[in-house]
Copies of this chain bind each other. A is one copy, B any other.
């Protein structure tokens, strides 16, 4: 019997996908649960990844005319009450501040005192507090548009949490814009959806479908919600970013009014859009393997890690010298309009541990350097996404250095192509209910993740449709935009669930 190949992560994806995910987060040193319920500690390697995500997105926001600002963490209860649908969606599970002081009680333990007249909610999202501010800023059509983004922490009291995917506190950005016309606000909503799609594909190497949410999946208070949807390796969908056209719902609730050029008093049209540390969860589940994290080079905190190998102090001198020289040469190369990020890992821990740690952390290229490599001035770089298992021929140091940028670019491209092929292989157009039901029924009850994947179906939203979807725990992820590849042509067909003729097609999947 062939021995199963050893993997760094236990269990493997095939054995237990959800647990594999938690183990990758841990093994890659990305984050850990804190002792505060549902809150995580984002560790340096995970935070460096978030910093790279932030930097790229922030530049894209600025390039599309947005500026950053900062609004209060706390929202007065009365603000939340102003927009009825919004209350229903968000007021339920919030952290509520009721006191502003702690004093020693009779037993010496601290007790909350100084009760607030009006409780404050820790922001679950900031439409209401930002809207109230815009109402003060906007007087004339000349004050519009307002194009502001905020990087912030938000809190939603979640019952079941999973690191990066769903935590009580998380980090995100929330764009909030106000416009003079509905058309302009809709255009902004779609533009930012496009920014998210570009970021997901170009930086995260993660293919996404841009689409509109159905009524039942809209952001509480929105007129339309758009999202980007990605397929994870367990074939489930993950909503990776949302952009909302809020119409005049919030501007009416918050009284964001302006005097038009014609002298009429009008309500502004607003949008909001956001992505969060959830993107890191998406990144992990798109590319990682049974040896741990795999990072797309454009977002990797380090591109290359050099591991010096020496058995004694005598060897250490020349090896370290060579490694530092190599690092300097690599850092002088450019990738993605910036110097290559290279590091020599000189930590005093066992060689194998060190190597596996860098693999589990997803470093794109790892190079071991020992006396024999130095003697030949040739090296054997190991690319993290190379799953061939074949031993590659050594290449000269000069060649390694001069091709490093191209190698990173090839890996970035390769990751995207692999994910796109994977998605394509697990996406099917389905035209009848029997196929739909069997597509979403796992063949093996112990491995519920092994099902079809994405289904493209004509559909009409009816109670019948909803019942069938609920039965299979499948959701309508989105109605793809008309310029989404494969959906450019409007074709008519029969609703898989009701048999009604319709032009509406949706992407159906189990989802996070």
Q: How far is the CB of A391 from chain B (nearest CB, A)?
A: 32
Q: How far is the CB of A438 from chain B (nearest CB, A)?
A: 41
Chain B residues within 8 Å of A142, by CB? 347-349
Q: How far is the CB of A289 from chain B (nearest CB, A)?
A: 26
Q: How far is the CB of A89 from chain B (nearest CB, A)?
A: 12
* Residues 5-55 (chain A) with a chain B CB within 8 angstroms: 32, 34-36, 39-44, 46-48, 50-51
Q: How far is the CB of A283 from chain B (nearest CB, A)?
A: 17
CB of B39 within 8 A of CB of A74, answer yes
Other A-B pairs, 6, CB within 8 Å; known A91-B110, A92-B102: A34-B133, A44-B68, A74-B169, A93-B114, A97-B98, A100-B157
CB < 8 Å neighbour of A41 from B70, B87, B100: B70
Assembled-state Cα–Cα distance A496/B299 (Å) = 60
CB < 8 Å neighbour of A42 from B69, B97, B129, B348: B69
Given A94-B101, A110-B81, the answer on whether A74 and B44 have CB atoms closer than 8 Å is no
CB < 8 Å neighbour of A36 from B75, B93, B347: B75
CB of A102 within 8 A of CB of B121, answer yes
Assembled-state Cα–Cα distance A152/B100 (Å) = 20
Chain B residues within 8 Å of A474, by CB? none
Chain B residues within 8 Å of A46, by CB? 69
Bitwise, A45-89 to B at CB < 8 A (1) or not (0) is 011101100000000000000011111111111001100000100
Chain B residues within 8 Å of A32, by CB? 136
Given A34-B133, A100-B96, the answer on whether A87 and B73 have CB atoms closer than 8 Å is no
A259 proximal to B (CB < 8 A) = no
* Residues 103-131 (chain A) with a chain B CB within 8 angstroms: 103, 109-110, 112, 114, 119-122, 129
Copies of this protein in the assembly total 2
Please, which residue of chain B has its CB at the minimum distance from the CB of A133? B41
CB < 8 Å neighbour of A48 from B67, B92, B102: B67
CB of A73 within 8 A of CB of B155, answer yes
CB of B110 within 8 A of CB of A101, answer no
Bitwise, A227-262 to B at CB < 8 A (1) or not (0) is 000000000000000000000000000000000000
Assembled-state Cα–Cα distance A71/B44 (Å) = 11
Please, which residue of chain B has its CB at the minimum distance from the CB of A75? B36
Chain B residues within 8 Å of A102, by CB? 77, 80, 91-92, 94, 96, 121
Please, which residue of chain B has its CB at the minimum distance from the CB of A42? B70
Q: List 15 A-B contacts (CB under 8 A).
A: A34-B71, A35-B76, A48-B67, A70-B171, A73-B122, A73-B153, A80-B102, A80-B110, A93-B101, A94-B100, A95-B99, A96-B102, A99-B119, A114-B157, A153-B153
Assembled-state Cα–Cα distance A255/B164 (Å) = 28
Chain B residues within 8 Å of A347, by CB? 142
Bitwise, A453-465 to B at CB < 8 A (1) or not (0) is 0000000000000
A148 proximal to B (CB < 8 A) = yes
Assembled-state Cα–Cα distance A46/B87 (Å) = 31
A132 proximal to B (CB < 8 A) = yes
Chain B residues within 8 Å of A43, by CB? 69
CB < 8 Å neighbour of A132 from B35, B44, B67: B35
Assembled-state Cα–Cα distance A120/B155 (Å) = 13
What are the 6 closest A-B residue pairs judged by CB atoms, nearest first? Answer: A39-B72, A44-B67, A42-B70, A96-B99, A100-B157, A96-B112
Chain B residues within 8 Å of A97, by CB? 95-98, 122
Assembled-state Cα–Cα distance A47/B67 (Å) = 9
Please, which residue of chain B has its CB at the minimum distance from the CB of A51? B68
CB of A112 within 8 A of CB of B119, answer yes
Chain B residues within 8 Å of A169, by CB? 72-74
CB of B348 within 8 A of CB of A110, answer no
CB of A48 within 8 A of CB of B68, answer yes
Q: How far is the CB of A259 from chain B (nearest CB, A)?
A: 14
Bitwise, A344-384 to B at CB < 8 A (1) or not (0) is 00011100000000000000000000000000000000000
Please, which residue of chain B has its CB at the minimum distance from the CB of A66? B44
CB < 8 Å neighbour of A110 from B41, B48, B69, B77: B77
Q: How far is the CB of A246 from chain B (nearest CB, A)?
A: 20
Assembled-state Cα–Cα distance A93/B97 (Å) = 13
Assembled-state Cα–Cα distance A102/B39 (Å) = 20
CB of A98 within 8 A of CB of B77, answer no
Please, which residue of chain B has its CB at the minimum distance from the CB of A79? B35
Q: How far is the CB of A75 from chain B (nearest CB, A)?
A: 7
CB < 8 Å neighbour of A34 from B99, B129, B348, B349: B129
CB of B74 within 8 A of CB of A87, answer no
Chain B residues within 8 Å of A72, by CB? 34, 36, 39-41, 169
Assembled-state Cα–Cα distance A250/B87 (Å) = 42
